[in-house]
Chain A
Amino acid sequence: DVQMTQSPSSLSASVGDRVTITCRASQRIDGYLNWYQQKPGKAPNLLIYAASSLQSGVPSRFSGRGSGTDFTLTISGLQPEDFATYYCQQSYNTPRTFGQGTKVDIK
């Protein structure tokens, strides 16, 4: 199975900050990487697919990049509604696997 490792596990940030979350795969997964946001009591919500494509309706302050084994999710100008947990997920092979999550909370 492809293991997905996110860093950091949690971070504290202020409104307006630029935040970057890293996801590393245990093997090459090309660009088969998706990012989800999850708020308490809600289902995950797709933000970025295929490493860098912004899902329809998602604000442009979210961006993704990377290929191979190393990927990043960047939030440029953190907003109050962005405080949540973020997960990466690979779709290179089965089983699909998720990272352990990065919780972004208010400093």
Chain B
Amino acid sequence: EVQLVESGGGVVRPGGSLRLSCAASGFTFDDYGMTWVRQAPGKGPEWVSGMNWNGGNIGYADSVKGRFTISRDNTKNSLHLQMNNLRVEDTALYYCARVVGTWGSRNWFDSWGQGTLVTVSS
């Protein structure tokens, strides 16, 4: 069974940093691209960042480009999101999801974690 478990969320002041992690199990991690999607309270999902299996192809939403960095450790079956210079508008539930298909081409997000909450507030 595919399992994705996010961690690392919390309360941080504007300008602060957090590092989110996603522990994957139940599948061959380095066979898949991975992605982060966030959802602000009462809003729809917003794609944040994604990468292919080896990090050779990475994408970011314009809203986080230059502030967030996605990475993965295939030896530890883990995905990460380093978030710097956080803003109030980054407050959301952050999900990691598995990508089926080729990153950069037709693909879809077939398994999701339960999310980790990031609150940016002064």
Contact = CB atoms under 8 A, between A and B. Distances in A.
Given A95-B61, A98-B47, A43 B108 contact: no
Interface of A: 1, 31-32, 34, 36, 38, 43-46, 49-50, 55, 85, 87, 89, 91-92, 94-101
Nearest to B44: A101
The dominant DSSP class at the A interface is loop
13 contacts: A32-B106, A36-B45, A43-B114, A44-B45, A44-B95, A44-B109, A46-B109, A49-B100, A91-B105, A94-B50, A95-B59, A97-B47, A98-B46
Contacts of B35: 96
Contacts of B32: none
B113 interface: yes
Q: Is the interface of B mostly helix, strand, loop or mixed?
A: strand
Chain B interface category by residue count: 20 to 34
Contacts of A91: 101, 105-108
Contacts, number: 61
Nearest to A45: B112
B1 to A, nearest CB: 12
Nearest to B46: A98
A64 B120 CA distance: 38
B95 A43 contact: yes
Given A43-B114, A43-B115, A49-B100, A98 B109 contact: no
Given A31-B106, A46-B110, A55-B110, 19 more contacts: A1-B62, A34-B108, A43-B97, A43-B112, A43-B114, A44-B37, A44-B112, A46-B108, A49-B100, A50-B106, A87-B45, A89-B45, A89-B109, A95-B61, A95-B62, A96-B47, A98-B45, A98-B47, A101-B44
